[in-house]
Amino acid sequence: MSPSGPFVVGIAGGSGSGKSTLVRALSGALGAARVSALCYDAYYRDRGDLPAAERAALNYDAPDALDTELFLTDLTALRAGQPARPPRYCFSTHRRIGVDDAVEPRPIVLVEGILLLHDARTRALLDLSIFLDVPDAARLSRRMARDVSERGRTRRSVLSQYEATVRGAHAAWVEPTKPLADLVLLNVGRLDRLAEVAAAVVQQRLAQRAPWVAAA
Protein backbone atom coordinates (compact mmCIF):
# COMPACT_ATOMS: atom_id res chain seq x y z
CA MET A 1 0.00 0.00 0.00
CA SER A 2 1.14 3.51 -0.78
CA PRO A 3 2.35 5.40 2.31
CA SER A 4 0.94 8.60 0.79
CA GLY A 5 -2.70 7.52 0.96
CA PRO A 6 -5.22 7.86 3.79
CA PHE A 7 -4.54 5.92 6.97
CA VAL A 8 -7.45 3.48 7.23
CA VAL A 9 -8.56 2.27 10.66
CA GLY A 10 -11.05 -0.60 10.85
CA ILE A 11 -13.29 -0.97 13.91
CA ALA A 12 -15.03 -4.32 14.26
CA GLY A 13 -17.05 -6.05 16.97
CA GLY A 14 -20.49 -7.46 17.59
CA SER A 15 -23.74 -5.58 17.19
CA GLY A 16 -24.04 -3.19 20.12
CA SER A 17 -20.35 -3.27 21.00
CA GLY A 18 -19.91 0.50 20.65
CA LYS A 19 -18.31 0.80 17.21
CA SER A 20 -20.17 3.94 16.13
CA THR A 21 -19.56 5.56 19.50
CA LEU A 22 -15.85 4.83 19.23
CA VAL A 23 -15.77 6.29 15.71
CA ARG A 24 -17.28 9.53 17.02
CA ALA A 25 -14.89 9.64 19.97
CA LEU A 26 -11.88 8.94 17.78
CA SER A 27 -12.94 11.60 15.30
CA GLY A 28 -13.00 14.14 18.10
CA ALA A 29 -9.70 13.00 19.55
CA LEU A 30 -7.88 12.98 16.22
CA GLY A 31 -9.49 16.15 14.84
CA ALA A 32 -12.74 16.05 12.87
CA ALA A 33 -11.20 17.94 9.95
CA ARG A 34 -8.66 15.12 9.48
CA VAL A 35 -11.14 12.25 9.71
CA SER A 36 -13.84 10.74 7.52
CA ALA A 37 -15.94 7.66 8.27
CA LEU A 38 -17.41 4.80 6.26
CA CYS A 39 -19.94 2.36 7.73
CA TYR A 40 -20.18 -1.20 6.42
CA ASP A 41 -23.80 -1.32 7.62
CA ALA A 42 -24.76 1.02 4.77
CA TYR A 43 -23.99 -1.81 2.34
CA TYR A 44 -26.77 -4.20 3.31
CA ARG A 45 -28.39 -5.64 0.20
CA ASP A 46 -31.71 -4.17 -0.92
CA ARG A 47 -34.44 -6.66 -0.02
CA GLY A 48 -37.29 -4.78 -1.69
CA ASP A 49 -38.06 -7.78 -3.89
CA LEU A 50 -39.27 -9.74 -0.86
CA PRO A 51 -42.50 -9.37 1.14
CA ALA A 52 -42.05 -7.47 4.41
CA ALA A 53 -42.49 -10.60 6.55
CA GLU A 54 -39.76 -12.43 4.64
CA ARG A 55 -37.44 -9.43 4.85
CA ALA A 56 -37.84 -9.31 8.62
CA ALA A 57 -36.99 -13.01 8.96
CA LEU A 58 -33.65 -12.85 7.11
CA ASN A 59 -30.32 -13.14 8.90
CA TYR A 60 -28.75 -9.70 8.62
CA ASP A 61 -25.67 -10.68 10.61
CA ALA A 62 -24.44 -13.22 8.07
CA PRO A 63 -21.74 -12.32 5.51
CA ASP A 64 -24.04 -12.74 2.50
CA ALA A 65 -26.41 -10.07 3.87
CA LEU A 66 -23.90 -7.40 2.82
CA ASP A 67 -22.86 -6.18 -0.61
CA THR A 68 -19.17 -6.71 0.04
CA GLU A 69 -18.14 -6.13 -3.58
CA LEU A 70 -19.59 -2.61 -3.61
CA PHE A 71 -18.09 -1.91 -0.20
CA LEU A 72 -14.64 -3.01 -1.41
CA THR A 73 -14.99 -0.80 -4.48
CA ASP A 74 -15.72 2.24 -2.33
CA LEU A 75 -13.04 1.47 0.25
CA THR A 76 -10.49 0.99 -2.52
CA ALA A 77 -11.49 4.35 -3.98
CA LEU A 78 -10.94 6.05 -0.62
CA ARG A 79 -7.51 4.44 -0.31
CA ALA A 80 -6.70 5.81 -3.77
CA GLY A 81 -7.66 9.34 -2.69
CA GLN A 82 -11.09 9.39 -4.33
CA PRO A 83 -14.46 10.08 -2.67
CA ALA A 84 -17.02 7.31 -2.20
CA ARG A 85 -20.83 7.48 -2.29
CA PRO A 86 -22.21 4.72 -0.05
CA PRO A 87 -25.82 3.58 -0.33
CA ARG A 88 -28.44 4.99 2.03
CA TYR A 89 -30.13 2.11 3.82
CA CYS A 90 -33.40 1.97 5.79
CA PHE A 91 -33.11 -0.47 8.70
CA SER A 92 -36.86 -0.59 9.38
CA THR A 93 -37.81 -1.64 5.82
CA HIS A 94 -34.52 -3.37 4.88
CA ARG A 95 -34.35 -1.41 1.63
CA ARG A 96 -31.95 1.02 0.03
CA ILE A 97 -33.39 4.50 -0.32
CA GLY A 98 -30.87 6.16 -2.55
CA VAL A 99 -27.26 7.26 -2.27
CA ASP A 100 -25.76 8.98 0.76
CA ASP A 101 -23.46 11.99 0.92
CA ALA A 102 -19.93 11.53 -0.34
CA VAL A 103 -17.26 10.27 2.06
CA GLU A 104 -14.09 12.24 1.41
CA PRO A 105 -10.60 10.66 1.49
CA ARG A 106 -9.22 12.60 4.43
CA PRO A 107 -5.86 11.74 6.08
CA ILE A 108 -7.61 9.29 8.44
CA VAL A 109 -10.51 7.10 7.33
CA LEU A 110 -12.42 5.23 10.06
CA VAL A 111 -14.32 2.17 8.85
CA GLU A 112 -16.71 0.21 11.05
CA GLY A 113 -18.75 -2.98 10.77
CA ILE A 114 -19.57 -6.17 12.63
CA LEU A 115 -18.10 -8.33 9.85
CA LEU A 116 -15.37 -5.93 8.83
CA LEU A 117 -12.59 -8.45 9.49
CA HIS A 118 -14.37 -11.45 7.98
CA ASP A 119 -13.17 -10.93 4.39
CA ALA A 120 -9.41 -11.08 3.79
CA ARG A 121 -9.71 -8.51 1.02
CA THR A 122 -11.10 -5.96 3.45
CA ARG A 123 -8.43 -6.72 6.03
CA ALA A 124 -5.78 -6.06 3.38
CA LEU A 125 -7.12 -2.51 2.93
CA LEU A 126 -6.78 -1.62 6.62
CA ASP A 127 -3.69 -0.05 8.15
CA LEU A 128 -4.91 -0.76 11.68
CA SER A 129 -7.73 -3.02 12.88
CA ILE A 130 -9.50 -2.76 16.23
CA PHE A 131 -11.99 -5.24 17.71
CA LEU A 132 -14.35 -4.12 20.49
CA ASP A 133 -14.97 -7.03 22.85
CA VAL A 134 -18.22 -6.78 24.86
CA PRO A 135 -20.19 -9.41 26.85
CA ASP A 136 -23.34 -10.72 25.19
CA ALA A 137 -25.79 -9.19 27.68
CA ALA A 138 -24.27 -5.73 27.31
CA ARG A 139 -24.39 -5.93 23.52
CA LEU A 140 -28.05 -6.90 23.58
CA SER A 141 -28.90 -4.02 25.91
CA ARG A 142 -27.10 -1.50 23.71
CA ARG A 143 -28.60 -2.92 20.52
CA MET A 144 -32.06 -2.70 22.04
CA ALA A 145 -31.62 0.97 22.96
CA ARG A 146 -30.19 1.88 19.55
CA ASP A 147 -32.67 0.02 17.36
CA VAL A 148 -35.72 1.31 19.22
CA SER A 149 -34.58 4.94 19.34
CA GLU A 150 -32.76 5.22 16.00
CA ARG A 151 -34.03 2.52 13.66
CA GLY A 152 -37.78 2.47 14.26
CA ARG A 153 -37.85 -1.03 15.73
CA THR A 154 -39.96 -2.42 18.57
CA ARG A 155 -38.40 -4.06 21.62
CA ARG A 156 -40.15 -7.33 20.78
CA SER A 157 -38.79 -7.38 17.20
CA VAL A 158 -35.26 -6.59 18.40
CA LEU A 159 -35.29 -9.38 21.00
CA SER A 160 -36.86 -11.85 18.58
CA GLN A 161 -34.23 -11.13 15.93
CA TYR A 162 -31.41 -11.32 18.47
CA GLU A 163 -32.44 -14.76 19.67
CA ALA A 164 -33.26 -16.07 16.19
CA THR A 165 -30.17 -14.95 14.27
CA VAL A 166 -27.89 -12.39 15.92
CA ARG A 167 -26.56 -14.46 18.82
CA GLY A 168 -25.72 -17.44 16.61
CA ALA A 169 -24.25 -15.28 13.86
CA HIS A 170 -21.97 -13.56 16.35
CA ALA A 171 -20.59 -16.90 17.48
CA ALA A 172 -20.24 -18.18 13.92
CA TRP A 173 -18.81 -15.18 12.08
CA VAL A 174 -17.99 -12.22 14.33
CA GLU A 175 -16.23 -13.68 17.36
CA PRO A 176 -13.81 -15.74 15.20
CA THR A 177 -12.47 -12.51 13.68
CA LYS A 178 -11.28 -11.17 17.04
CA PRO A 179 -7.84 -12.84 16.82
CA LEU A 180 -7.37 -11.18 13.42
CA ALA A 181 -7.43 -7.67 14.89
CA ASP A 182 -4.28 -5.70 15.63
CA LEU A 183 -5.82 -4.34 18.84
CA VAL A 184 -8.60 -5.82 21.02
CA LEU A 185 -10.31 -3.45 23.46
CA LEU A 186 -12.67 -4.66 26.19
CA ASN A 187 -15.55 -2.18 26.21
CA VAL A 188 -17.26 -2.63 29.57
CA GLY A 189 -16.62 0.75 31.16
CA ARG A 190 -15.91 4.27 29.99
CA LEU A 191 -15.45 4.29 26.25
CA ASP A 192 -13.62 7.63 26.34
CA ARG A 193 -10.66 5.84 27.94
CA LEU A 194 -10.65 3.26 25.17
CA ALA A 195 -10.77 6.10 22.66
CA GLU A 196 -7.67 7.58 24.25
CA VAL A 197 -5.85 4.27 23.86
CA ALA A 198 -6.98 3.85 20.26
CA ALA A 199 -6.10 7.46 19.39
CA ALA A 200 -2.62 7.03 20.84
CA VAL A 201 -2.04 3.92 18.71
CA VAL A 202 -3.29 5.69 15.59
CA GLN A 203 -1.03 8.67 16.25
CA GLN A 204 1.92 6.38 16.79
CA ARG A 205 1.29 4.61 13.49
CA LEU A 206 0.74 7.93 11.71
CA ALA A 207 4.13 9.18 12.89
CA GLN A 208 5.66 6.38 10.84
CA ARG A 209 3.77 7.40 7.69
CA ALA A 210 4.38 10.09 5.08
CA PRO A 211 4.75 13.63 6.45
CA TRP A 212 1.51 14.93 4.89
CA VAL A 213 -0.52 12.28 6.70
CA ALA A 214 1.01 12.98 10.12
CA ALA A 215 0.84 16.75 9.79
CA ALA A 216 -2.41 17.30 7.87
Q: What CATH code is carried by the domain that includes residue 64? A: 3.40.50.300
Q: Please, is 163 exposed, middle or buried when counting C-beta atoms within 10 Å of its C-beta (0-12, 13-18, 19+)?
A: exposed
pTM of the model: 0.86
Counting the structural domains of the chain, the total is 1
In a domain, 213, yes or no: no
Domain span at 121: 7-207
Is position 16 within any domain? yes
Q: Is residue 212 part of a domain?
A: no
pLDDT in tens, the chain (216 residues): 345 689 999 999 988 888 999 999 999 999 999 999 999 999 999 998 899 888 878 888 899 999 999 999 999 999 999 999 999 998 888 899 999 999 999 999 999 999 999 999 999 999 999 999 988 777 777 777 777 777 777 778 777 777 777 778 889 999 999 999 999 998 887 788 889 999 999 999 988 875 544 444
Q: Note whether residue 2 is domain-resident.
A: no
